[in-house]
Structure 1
């Protein structure tokens, strides 16, 4: 075993113990109180004298913790980021073990958050503790962001971090999403809108024919599904994924006797450098205008844009991707760069001009599903790779 990986193996027991403590504290996004899981982290950080503080959003809600370790020489700051809120349990009766069991079974750490991303949060805290011991030798600084508003889609912790006037804006961020074969260096962007379709209202038993909002909206959905988007890029293209349009929600009416006068649909468009948010909005508005012209309603169809994030992609030679991939190769783990289909917090960071990797971690199963678990056999190697990448970025002697 590589000496660096062997050294990391001595941290494994402590990393797993803290991760277990975090998994035992339910922290489902938008459901649970986050104070217990953050309190567990605060107690661990305090025992090790690591400088940290709470982050709050504009409404005063607790949205994360921030660890900051300044080096002894000038240089850029870098950030490790992991969420400690989680997906919901779903139907916990479908699990073969309790979602907060936090045990190790046949080499797997089990429970909600084991993969996404409490184990990464624990590992990053331990790396911060090691960096803190030799901070005087290092250039720049290391921050560890522990977000509890990620699975809601609000990313309140990241937004509070970037808005904090006392924060050193990082030169790059490494996000601890799981998956060991690839370093995620990019992702499609998104453009999201709610479309409100209108129609006359009336009684469903009326002698006159009434085309209600639900029927009009159904016709619009067919047009949106048939909209022409650019096709998949050629093999070897720098950005390897095509854009994608999906209707994701459809709400209108109540009961049986009233033909509704409004129906709302949600639309999600995944964007690329060659088909960006402006292209997505133009396509949707053009489709809606043609629909209103062909099937007029009592008022024009409304479009309310609710989110827009750019796509992002780093080259393998750009930081922090270069440091992470170099450390992986040097420590015997060949990885390849990947551009992901789903959007992630890397898109939010790209909106602020901050480059990010959005995934390298342990093998896993059950992410956002039932029986979530993470394979601990590779923990020494993954830990060592992140630790080495951080030291390289901090210009360790």
Structure 2
């Protein structure tokens, strides 16, 4: 692996704006397709239900029977926010003092480039591999739809993976688990009226505030067993009312509950429905999303392969159970184990002046390479090790 080549592809990707739900994904997909085609790597587009391209899938079938494993990196990005606050253009792609600058440098265009290079290295050795290796380049992750991952799982032509390694950045930890979530909208209704009327009207806002207090007062269980985080309930949106003279008849709330193995989506829904039953008329609860929590042990694959590879490369890396959810939760709902959060050091992910440090590229690549070879049951003779360090 030539780190300059990995950096060059990552730069080209950062220079293609690909904000989820804002920019066309065609330019960033075209950069990847040109790179893959130039190396004769087998790839194809994955489409959503509307026929739009939401991912590229690279598939390298091994010459021996065995499970398939997937490397996953998103190539769409978060929005820029206030561009005037950036000290460089959000789509810069420049490397300054060892930092790759721009939105997506950290999440996750460096990882996408690394995984493409790893596929290019392993493809000539496909006959020696057991099972197969897929690289999913997801162009619909930051919308929250996870369209690329969903299209991959729904594709009848794709081999179902035994596990997925998600290339989020950060060298200190490997995310082996995460809290799940249960989300709902709640509609609170009440009679409307004039705010100056002599008749007292308890409007929807007052009723909704009372409901928020009830939800905030609910006691959630402490962490139990091997799962280190407690559940959490947050009211994340509150909409209602207009002007000054009308007592509104409707308020809409969003409720986000992070779940654990001991406090499930069913428990979360029961809690909310218990709270709303204290109001008359009873507010309408509409669940909108539910993902299960997940957690791998250090002996479960693919966590074991990645953690062992990091240790053998000389790194001290800790397994972590994350509070926020990620694609690992979506995969857990499909019964597919996943790890996330190992990559190059970074700063300001999703924030102003996002950047990724490139000095550690070779080390991070070596970890993923070693983990992939372990999962694919491939030996690594000296000549192959030497070839991996040659320019590509």
Q: Distance in 1 between matches of 2:348 and 2:158?
A: 35
Q: Distance in 2 between matches of 1:64 and 1:271?
A: 29
Query: What SS class does the counterpart of residue 191 from structure 2 fall into?
Result: coil
1:348 matched to 2:330: yes
1:97 deviation in Å? 0.9
Q: Unpaired segments of 5 or more residues in structure 2?
A: 380-392
1:327 deviation in Å? 0.7
Q: Distance in 1 between matches of 2:303 and 2:266?
A: 28
- Of 236, 240, 243, the match for 1:248: 236
What residue is the counterpart of 1:177 in the other structure?
Answer: 168
What residue is the counterpart of 2:245 in the other structure?
Answer: 257
1:336 deviation in Å? 1.2
Deviations along 1:233-253, one digit per CA (max 9) or x if unpaired, are 4xxx41100000000001112
What residue is the counterpart of 2:121 in the other structure?
Answer: 130
- Of 264, 281, 291, the match for 1:276: 264
Aligned-pair Cα RMSD in Å = 1.0
Deviations along 1:106-159, one digit per CA (max 9) or x if unpaired, are 111110000000010010000000010111111110000011111111001000
**Map of 1:139-288 to 2, 5 A cutoff?**
139-233=130-224, 237-288=225-276
Q: Distance in 2 between matches of 1:72 and 1:62?
A: 30
1:76 deviation in Å? 0.6
Q: Distance in 2 between matches of 1:226 and 1:62?
A: 45
What residue is the counterpart of 2:390 in the other structure?
Answer: none
Query: What SS class does the counterpart of residue 377 from structure 1 fall into?
Result: coil
Larger displacement relative to structure 2 (306-315 or 51-60): 51-60
1:232 deviation in Å? 4.1
Q: Distance in 1 between matches of 2:109 and 2:180?
A: 25
TM-score, normalising length: structure 1? 0.94
**Map of 1:1-397 to 2, 5 A cutoff?**
8=1, 11-233=2-224, 237-290=225-278, 292=279, 296-297=280-281, 300-397=282-379
Deviations along 1:323-374, one digit per CA (max 9) or x if unpaired, are 1011111111121111001010000000000000021011110001111011
1:215 deviation in Å? 1.6
Aligned length: 379
Query: What SS class does the counterpart of residue 359 from structure 2 fall into?
Result: helix
Q: Distance in 1 between matches of 2:200 and 2:96?
A: 63
Q: Distance in 1 between matches of 2:242 and 2:44?
A: 48
1:93 deviation in Å? 0.9
1:198 deviation in Å? 0.3
Q: Distance in 2 between matches of 1:133 and 1:157?
A: 27
Deviations along 1:35-80, one digit per CA (max 9) or x if unpaired, are 1111111111111111111111122222111111101111110000
What residue is the counterpart of 1:5 in the other structure?
Answer: none
